[in-house]
Chain A
Amino acid sequence: MATTATISLSSDIAPGFGGITESMTLTQAGNLVDIDSTTGFQIRKLSATGAVDLITMASELVEPKDSVAAKIFIRNIGYQGAIDKSVGVTIGVNAEPIGLLYGGDWMMMPLTCIDADDITANPATDDTVVLEYVMFYEEA
């Protein structure tokens, strides 16, 4: 029951930078047991500015365990095949902006999963955009 993620970064900014390729197996906190719960893969269509919850921690059907080893993957897939890399959606945690996810961009980060730390999305424009996302976590 393994969940794995591999990142490959390449860049020609700095001469001699050989790139980064790293894999991780998502495990539970403090041990080597595979992480065992997920929200499943979801999409959310946004068509107006204003922050909305992508994930409301207190409303998950299966309560995530707090402050352990949860992860979330989010990707801005544009809308109906059109991806605009010049505009994006600000992803936040508990109203703190983490960063702006431009068209086609993706992110993966750990989460606390405590009830206050909802994952929010706030589009920069009223143009329709779709986010796809999946959260992996430990069941409380």
Chain B
Amino acid sequence: MATTTAAVTLTSDLLSDNMSVSASTTCMKAGTTADGLDQMEYGYVNLVTGDEYDLVGATPTATKASKLYLKNHSTDETYFIAVTQNAQAIGKLYAGDWMFIPADFHDAAGDIAITANGGTNKICYALFHEGITLVTT
């Protein structure tokens, strides 16, 4: 079985006592407890301002499990990318920010789309999944 592990450590001193949360999970195929995600895409792109672009070129199979990691590697703190799914705004990733979600590619319109703001943003992404529909030439 292919094994993909995602771990996080979250700390904050905003509360009166420091908060520290650690979590780790093995990314499995949909509906299984013994079969891990077995396909992935990994990329780094420069995203110019202006248009909105689909981050994932081919559509991962609907109803299957997918995990998406996305980081804005820009260094100018005023730069950000706006992230949407199926035209619904999710939020903004400023320079240095990352996100990790169980992406639901329920149909072609469900792609994750990103728009650069401030200047050319540098984006790293990794998609772990269990199958995609390739685009025919």
User: A residues within 8 Å of B by Cβ?
Assistant: 1-14, 17, 20, 22, 24-27, 29-32, 36-38, 40-41, 67-71, 73, 75, 84-88, 90-91, 93-94, 96-102, 104-112, 114, 117, 134, 136
B40 A110 Cβ-Cβ under 8 A: no
> Do most interface residues of chain B lie in helix, strand or loop, or is the interface mixed?
strand
B residues within 8 A CB of A7?
A: 6-8, 69, 98, 100
Residues 18 to 71 of chain B near chain A (Cβ within 8 Å):
19, 21, 23, 25-28, 30-33, 37-40, 42, 65-66, 69, 71
What residue in chain A is nearest B30 (Cβ atoms)?
A100
Check if B108 is an interface residue, CB within 8 A of chain A. no
B90 A100 Cβ-Cβ under 8 A: no
A98 B90 Cβ-Cβ under 8 A: yes
B102 A112 Cβ-Cβ under 8 A: no
Residues of chain B at interface, number, CB under 8 A: 60
Check if B86 is an interface residue, CB within 8 A of chain A. yes
User: B residues within 8 Å of A by Cβ?
Assistant: 2-15, 19, 21, 23, 25-28, 30-33, 37-40, 42, 65-66, 69, 71, 77-78, 80, 83, 85-86, 88-94, 96-104, 106, 124, 126, 128
B21 A90 Cβ-Cβ under 8 A: no
A3 B7 Cβ-Cβ under 8 A: no
A96-B86, A112-B90 as given contacts; A20 in contact with B65, CB under 8 Å: no
A residues within 8 A CB of B89?
A: 67, 93, 112, 114, 117
What residue in chain B is nearest A14 (Cβ atoms)?
B40
A residues within 8 A CB of B5?
A: 8-11
- Give 13 pairs: A residue, B residue, CB < 8 Å, sorted on A: A5-B8, A5-B98, A7-B7, A11-B4, A29-B94, A38-B14, A98-B103, A100-B102, A101-B102, A107-B101, A112-B91, A117-B88, A134-B12
B residues within 8 A CB of A93?
A: 85, 88-90
B residues within 8 A CB of A75?
A: 21, 23
Give Cα A87–Cα B128 distance, bound, in whole angstroms.
Answer: 18
Q: Could you tell me the distance in whole angstroms from the C-beta of A29 to the nearest C-beta in chain B?
A: 6
A31 B77 Cβ-Cβ under 8 A: yes
Interface centre among B8, B10, B26 (most CB of A within 10 A): B10
A13 B4 Cβ-Cβ under 8 A: yes
B residues within 8 A CB of A14?
A: 40, 42
B15 A38 Cβ-Cβ under 8 A: yes
Q: Could you tell me the distance in whole angstroms from the C-beta of B23 to the nearest C-beta in chain A?
A: 5
A8 B7 Cβ-Cβ under 8 A: yes
Interface centre among A1, A11, A24, A87 (most CB of B within 10 A): A11
